[in-house]
Structure 1
Amino acid sequence: MAQDKPCALISEVGGEGFIQEAVDIMKQHFQIITHQEFLQNPSLSSKIQVVFLWDNKPQIEPSLISSLPALKLIANGGVGIDHLDIAHLKSLGIRVSNTPHVVSNATADMAMGLLLASARRIVEGHLICVDPNTTKFPRTQMGFEVTGSTLGIIGMGHIGFKIAQRGRGFDMKILYHNRNRRSYEDEQAVGAVYFKNKEELLREADFVVLAVNLTPETTGLIGHKELSLMKPTATLVNISRGRVVDQDALVEALQNRTIRAAALDVTYPEPLPRIICQLLLNSRKDFYTIIPACTLLRTRDHPLLHLPNVIITPHSGTDTAATIVKMVQTMVDNGVAAVQGQQIPNEVQP
């Protein structure tokens, strides 16, 4: 390993960690130490100046922080930093950065993909087509028209604006609610109408897309009241964080057809809890008694896993090769600035 480079800690290479291409980018400026290597060789702790955080791994716990006396920066992959206590870390002299803007296009694409898949029932159609029992296609598989419908965006930051641009391409009427109103020029660019009151937006939108950061103010932003205001033909799309939505209220709304559907790239927790039946080879139970028991246990899965009017994807809004490379390069740029004592381009303030 190059001894003249500053050291950076990562979770792992491959698996749930960084792809090799991302690690190769890091190695241009840093000596990379995996969490496992760190645990096996604690003497490395005094050398680590940056932690590259990916999918909240390695977990930033007090024990880890206290063991890294030279740590200057936690470089988070992605925009959301709700898993980090920014103020506390800064009080310890540790900065935090994220990767805004570079994730916007991929995340906005995911929002529109979920919207289209739900509206046109693409997943259900696929399952019909690959079902071995299908001999003809039902003509009752009616979807919802996207072109010309009303898109309501809650959270009109960089990602929200990109979603509006895509909605404009489908001739959608764009409504938005945000803490701060966008400029006249921004509104004109996408034909967006500002709603200071989100409840009014919920009443009018055919599709409601959530694109907010998770904060104390946005936790539980969509609950029983908000869902009850939406049209019975409306769809909720969430590409922000699972905790933004009261999931119990969402389950009830979907079951009772208070709203038509939901399309979720995020849930809480991730993945949703489920019962896993394991058939042990040394089990004395008859195979045919175990299978019905497993079927009964499935009822203990999270209800969202079995509702026909919901699509769930594995928090993959930023998961494209090009976006991951851009995210990692941004993380590295932030890390280099921190090590060199320069202004960190994407530092997150408390």
Structure 2
Amino acid sequence: MTEKKKPIVVVTRKLPDVVETRMMELFDARLNSDDAPLTHAQLIEAAQVADVLVPTVTDRIDGDIIEKAGPQLRLIASFGTGVDHIDLKAARARGITVTNTPGVLTEDTADMTMALLLAVARRLAEGERLVRSGQWKGWGPTTMLGHRIWGKRLGILGMGRIGQALARRARAFGMSIHYHNRRRVYPDVEKELEATYWESLDQMLARMDVVSINCPHTPATYHLLSERRLKLLRPHCYIVNTSRGEVIDETALTKMLSKGEIAGAGLDVFEHEPAVNPKLLRLDNVVLLPHMGSATIEGRIDMGEKVIINIKTFVDGHAPPDRVIETLL
């Protein structure tokens, strides 16, 4: 009996060793050992030979790549939760299934969001820089004053898994939970979180002390926090973003932060990353991180295991568990 040929699986970036080893065992895996991001031309080459393409959120799988893909490419098993880097309509038109890795990064991202919230409100990054620069002259009653978060109102934009996990953490810190979402969450979730729902995003923004961005980037959420909406925020308000940079008008945000029209921001993502607005780099009231909200060893391994399950299930002729359903396209 002829042994079934292993599918060619092209992985665009370096993944944890344990994940790559398992892929080599199960598939004809083509790995990226030096972790150099693939160029557009290299992504086309990969799509022309792969049965399964495993990109990450930094690989833009646009319509051109999908159009030029070989007929054998039937699955794009993305290593990441967001799918805004993939032209889903083009994939659907070619009959290519798309999967992602939802759920496994919830707690890690919520941890980082809470850390950024604390860091910007209590000026942790500024204080760390002060010590390292040798300019700290000792404790003083008015030195490095920040703001307590206990008793403050937190407005969560996007009350999905991560938004709810953040709400649980914030409640433990004594914050009042408010949220705006495309759909209102179930009553039992609202009761558990003691969360106040705002149908109007504008009305919520005008009343919050901290605003956290936890919604995905889609055409509908591009610049959802526009200059007009940013101007609704009160001057003492802080913004935290661990979702996608494109949700905020970064130019407008930078301008308002520099003028003191917003108290501060904690940003793990940027509109044009890895490029960061040079003006943001010069602001002391901003904490900047290199898109590391989900960067835990455990999380990355869990993501890899989900990718493997999606591929194996698909190759075996079944619907993969994390298929991006048509309603999301």
The answer to whether TM tops 0.5 is yes
Task: Measure how far apart 1:34 and its partner are.
Answer: 3.2
Task: Measure how far apart 1:267 and its partner are.
Answer: 0.3
1:319 has 2:295 as partner: yes
Deviates more, 1:56-65 or 1:81-90: 56-65
Structure-2 residue corresponding to 1:269: 272
Provide the secondary structure at the position in 2 that maps to 1:324. Answer: helix
Choose 1 or 2 for highest CA Rg.
Answer: 1
**Given residue 21 of structure 2, which amino acid in structure 1 is its aligned partner?**
D
Contact 1:51–1:75 (CA<8 Å) still a contact in 2?
Answer: yes
User: Pairwise CA RMSD of aligned residues?
Assistant: 2.6
Query: In structure 2, how many angstroms separate the alpha carbons of the residues matched to 1:346 and 1:57?
Result: 19
Structure-1 residue corresponding to 2:6: 5
Measured at CA, do residues 248 and 174 of structure 1 come closer, stay the same or move farther in structure 2, by a change above 3 Å?
same
Structure-1 residue corresponding to 2:112: 110
Provide the secondary structure at the position in 2 that maps to 1:193. Answer: strand
Cα displacement string for residues 133-181 of structure 1 (whole angstroms, at most 9, x for unaligned residues): 4342454201111122111001111111111111111121000000100
Query: In structure 2, how many angstroms separate the alpha carbons of the residues matched to 1:46 and 1:212?
Result: 33
Structure-2 residue corresponding to 1:21: 18
Contact 1:128–1:137 (CA<8 Å) still a contact in 2?
Answer: no
Structure-2 residue corresponding to 1:339: 315
Task: Measure how far apart 1:4 and its partner are.
Answer: 4.5
Task: Measure how far apart 1:47 and its partner are.
Answer: 6.1
Measured at CA, do residues 32 and 60 of structure 1 come closer, stay the same or move farther in structure 2, by a change above 3 Å?
farther
Structure-1 residue corresponding to 2:99: 97
1:226 has 2:229 as partner: yes
**Given residue 21 of structure 1, which amino acid in structure 2 is its aligned partner?**
V
Task: Measure how far apart 1:324 and its partner are.
Answer: 0.4
1:194 has 2:170 as partner: no
Task: Measure how far apart 1:43 and its partner are.
Answer: 11
Contact 2:313–2:319 (CA<8 Å) still a contact in 1?
Answer: yes
Structure-1 residue corresponding to 2:278: 302
TM-score by length of 1: 0.84
Query: In structure 2, how many angstroms separate the alpha carbons of the residues matched to 1:144 and 1:229?
Result: 20
Query: In structure 2, how many angstroms separate the alpha carbons of the residues matched to 1:302 and 1:187?
Result: 40
Structure 2: gaps of 5 or more residues:
none
Structure-1 residue corresponding to 2:132: 130
**Given residue 200 of structure 1, which amino acid in structure 2 is its aligned partner?**
Q
Query: In structure 2, how many angstroms separate the alpha carbons of the residues matched to 1:45 and 1:104?
Result: 30
Task: Measure how far apart 1:87 and its partner are.
Answer: 1.7
Task: Measure how far apart 1:242 and its partner are.
Answer: 0.7
Provide the secondary structure at the position in 1 that maps to 2:260. Answer: coil
Query: In structure 2, how many angstroms separate the alpha carbons of the residues matched to 1:252 and 1:46?
Result: 44
Task: Measure how far apart 1:106 and its partner are.
Answer: 0.8
From 49, 52, 55, the equivalent of 2:54 is 52
Contact 1:237–1:263 (CA<8 Å) still a contact in 2?
Answer: yes
Structure 1: gaps of 5 or more residues:
274-300
**Given residue 325 of structure 1, which amino acid in structure 2 is its aligned partner?**
I
Measured at CA, do residues 309 and 52 of structure 1 come closer, stay the same or move farther in structure 2, by a change above 3 Å?
same
Structure-2 residue corresponding to 1:152: 155
**Given residue 24 of structure 1, which amino acid in structure 2 is its aligned partner?**
T
Task: Measure how far apart 1:100 and its partner are.
Answer: 1.0
**Given residue 341 of structure 1, which amino acid in structure 2 is its aligned partner?**
G
Contact 2:15–2:304 (CA<8 Å) still a contact in 1?
Answer: no
Measured at CA, do residues 340 and 204 of structure 1 come closer, stay the same or move farther in structure 2, by a change above 3 Å?
same
Residue correspondence of structure 1 range 209-224 to structure 2 within 5 A: 209-224=212-227
1:31 has 2:32 as partner: no
% identity of equivalent residues:
33
